[in-house]
Structure 1
């Protein structure tokens, strides 16, 4: 079976929303995707749970861009729960050009 997505597209889908939250022992995240729909979750192993939220947001943003090979512009907002934040993808950068 062949993968029919355009070159440079992540096999997981395109991020639409990011959720970031602090636990006592680490920062955790969920990335909501479209085309195909799905959710990826995990943690930020290199970021201490005591660090500033901006550092965790930056690390997650960087990881999402690296995984997709393109830039994403995000709009972060504090969520309803303490130590939870959400980001909406407001703009997608261009897909990488095939080599």
Structure 2
């Protein structure tokens, strides 16, 4: 039996990546979500990375270089709100540079 697939048959399920480049140790983290990337997902991924690397304990300042896209635009209140909550939760300063 031969099964053929359509050239652009992507279906209804997909994964969306979110990349974290840690320049302090040349590590890349690439978490995925089964939905579109949201501000909450991005901050959750950042928090998980901080915890896995013990940065939530050892770091006092986090610098984030973001692309100023739709989800992390400095005018997006949900992204700013969740970043402030993350900063308050672990008592560190966040410097955000939109590129």
TM-score range, shorter chain: 0.3 to 0.5
The structure where strand makes up a greater share of residues is 1
The structure where helix makes up a greater share of residues is 2
Report the structure number with the largest CA radius of gyration. 2
Superposition TM-score, scaled by structure 2 size:
0.38
Superposition TM-score, scaled by structure 1 size:
0.38
